[in-house]
Amino acid sequence: MSIPLTLVLGGARSGKSRYAEGLVTAGPAPWVYVATAQAFDDEMVARIARHRADRADGWQTVEAPLDLAGALDAAPAGATVLVDCLTLWLTNLMLGEHGITAAIEALEAALDRRAAPVVLVANEVGLGIVPDNALARAFRDEAGRLNQRLAARAGRVLFLAAGLPLTLK
Amino acid sequence: MSIPLTLVLGGARSGKSRYAEGLVTAGPAPWVYVATAQAFDDEMVARIARHRADRADGWQTVEAPLDLAGALDAAPAGATVLVDCLTLWLTNLMLGEHGITAAIEALEAALDRRAAPVVLVANEVGLGIVPDNALARAFRDEAGRLNQRLAARAGRVLFLAAGLPLTLK
Amino acid sequence: MSIPLTLVLGGARSGKSRYAEGLVTAGPAPWVYVATAQAFDDEMVARIARHRADRADGWQTVEAPLDLAGALDAAPAGATVLVDCLTLWLTNLMLGEHGITAAIEALEAALDRRAAPVVLVANEVGLGIVPDNALARAFRDEAGRLNQRLAARAGRVLFLAAGLPLTLK
C-alpha cells in the first residue's frame, strides 16, 4: 500500500476544511471534492453553500453522503481527491442504520485502489465531557475508532486548531 | 503590522491563564490584565476571585466585558497587556446582542495601534460532540472563527493541555 | 523525586489506553494494570471486557476504583504500573463524595514511594462547550486541575489523538 494518504483532524471551525483544500490545490489539478454533507435543514443548507463558495475554482464536486467507496472509484485516475468529511459520513451511516464495519472496509479497499493523493478530513469529537445520551456516546466511540484506523493507514496526519496544524505523523 | 501578538489557546482548566501570565511577567512591567469575565452568579464570582488571587503582584486589572478595543487603547503605551479571555468576551457580545463583526474589527484595529506585546487567551470549544441546541452550535462556530482570525494575525500561537504548551506557530 | 512517571492524555477513543500499554510492555515485565473502572451497567461491563481482551498476556490486573494509593503500594517493587484511568477514578471519588484533595495527596505520596516506572492515563475533557449542568462543570474543572498537577510531576506527558502522540513534555 503506497497511496499518499493524508488525514486532517480537527474540531468544529478549526479551519480543517480550508487547510485540506490548500494541501490539495498545492498539487496539480484535477481536484475532486467529495462532500458527505446532507442538507436536512436550513442550517446545513447554509453551511454547505458557505463551504462551496469558499472553495477556489477548478474543483469538481461530488456528493456522496453514503457511498464514499463508489465516489473514490468514480474519480478520474489521476485526480487528487478531498473527502470532507468522514465524521458526517459516519453520522449518515449511523442515522440510516447502514452497516458501519462493511462501509469502512469498502472505503479502505477503495483507498487502496487509488494511486493519486487522497486527503481525508475528520472531526475530533472526544475531548469534551461524556455526553448524556447513549447514542452520542456510541457515535463518539465509532468516530474515534474510525479516526484511529485511518490514521494508522495514512502517511501524514495533522491536528488542526485555529487554522494551524500540529503534525501527528 | 509588527505587533508582538501571542494567542494562548486551550480547554477549560488547561492552565492557559497561568501560562499566559507567565509569558507576560517574563517581560518588564507594567502589566495590564484585561478581564472580560462578568460575575453573573456565585460560581463566576468565586472563579474570578480565585484567578485574581492566583496572580502575582504588579498587575493593573481592568474589567472590560464588552469594550476590549477601548481597554487596549487606554492601557499605558509601554505596558504589556493580557486579555483573559476572548471567548468570554464573545459570550458577552452574543448574550447582549452586540454586533460581533464590528467588535472584532475594532479589536483588530486596537491591536494594530499597540506597539508593546499583547497576549490573548482563548478557549478551544469545538472538540466535543455537536451540541444539542442551536445557540451553542452558533457560539462554537463564532468562537472557532475568532480563534482562526486572531491566530492568523499572531506571531506566536500556543495550544495548552495540562498546563503544558504545544506550539502551533 | 526521580520516579519515571509518564502521563498519557487524550480524548475518548483516542487510543490512549493502547498507547500506554505499549509504553509499558516495551519494558521488562512484571506489568501491573490498575483498573479504576466500575461496572455499573451493561455498557461499562462491555467496555471493560473489551479493554481486558485487547490487552496482551503477561499483565496482572488489579481493580482500584477508589484506593489508587493502596494499589500502587501493593504492586511488586520492580513492577511497571499502568493506571487506567485517572478520570474515572476522579468520577468515582466525586460520585462517592470522597475527599478529592486528600485522595490526590495520597496518590502523589504513593507515586513518590515507587522506584519503577508508572504510566498514568487520563482524559482531556475540557475542549467542548461549557456543559449545561453545574456538576459537569465542577467535574471538568477538577479533571483539568488533576491533569495539570500530575503533568507537573511527570517526566513525560503525551497528548494522544487518533492513536498518535504529540509530546507535551
- Say whether C11 and A127 touch across the interface (CB within 8 A): yes
pLDDT in tens, A64-102: 999 999 999 999 999 999 999 999 999 999 998 889 999
φ, ψ for residue B81 (rounded to 5)? -110, 135
Does the annotation flag C71 for ligand binding? no
Cα A91 to the center of its chain, rounded Å:
12
- Residue C51's pLDDT is 74
Strand locations in A19-131 (E): 31-35, 59-63, 80-84, 118-123
Strand locations in chain C (E): 5-10, 31-35, 59-63, 80-84, 118-123, 156-161, 164-167
Residue of A nearest to B8 (CA): A162
Q: What angle do CA C91, C94, C96 make, to 5 degrees?
A: 105
- Residue C5's pLDDT is 97
Would you say residue C152 has pLDDT above 90?
yes
Here the ipTM equals: 0.91
* Rounded-to-integer distance, Cα C75 and Cα C70, Å: 9
- Residue A108's pLDDT is 98
Of the candidates A9, A137, A141, the beta carbon closest to that of C162 is on: A9
B163 chain-C contacts, CB cut-off 8 A: 147-148, 151-152
B138 chain-C contacts, CB cut-off 8 A: none
Domains assigned to chain C: 5-109+121-167 (3.40.50.300)
Exposed e or buried b for every residue in B51-63, given b needs 16+ CB within 10 A?
beeebeeebeebe
* Rounded-to-integer distance, Cα A130 and Cα A132, Å: 7
Helix (H, G, I), strand (E, B) or coil at A39: coil
Angle between helices C86-95 and C134-153 (to 10 degrees): 140
Exposed e or buried b for every residue in B78-94, given b needs 16+ CB within 10 A?
ebbbbbbbbbbbbbbbe
- Whether A51 is catalytic is yes
Residue of B nearest to C160 (CA): B161
Q: Minimal CA–CA distance to A130: which of B134, C131, C92, C165?
A: C131
- Residue A55's pLDDT is 75
Q: What angle do CA A98, A39, C128 make, to 5 degrees?
A: 80
* Rounded-to-integer distance, Cα A28 and Cα B53, Å: 56
A150 chain-C contacts, CB cut-off 8 A: 162
Residue of A nearest to C129 (CA): A128
Contact C93, C100 (CB under 8 A): yes
A152 chain-C contacts, CB cut-off 8 A: 163
Query: Tens digit of pLDDT per residue, chain B (169 long)?
Result: 345 999 999 999 999 999 999 999 999 999 999 999 987 778 777 877 777 777 777 899 999 999 999 999 999 999 999 999 999 999 999 998 889 999 999 999 999 999 999 999 999 999 999 999 999 999 999 999 999 999 999 999 999 999 999 999 9
Residues of A with CB under 8 A from a CB of C: 7, 9, 11, 124-130, 134, 137, 140-141, 143-145, 147-148, 150-152, 157, 159, 166, 168-169
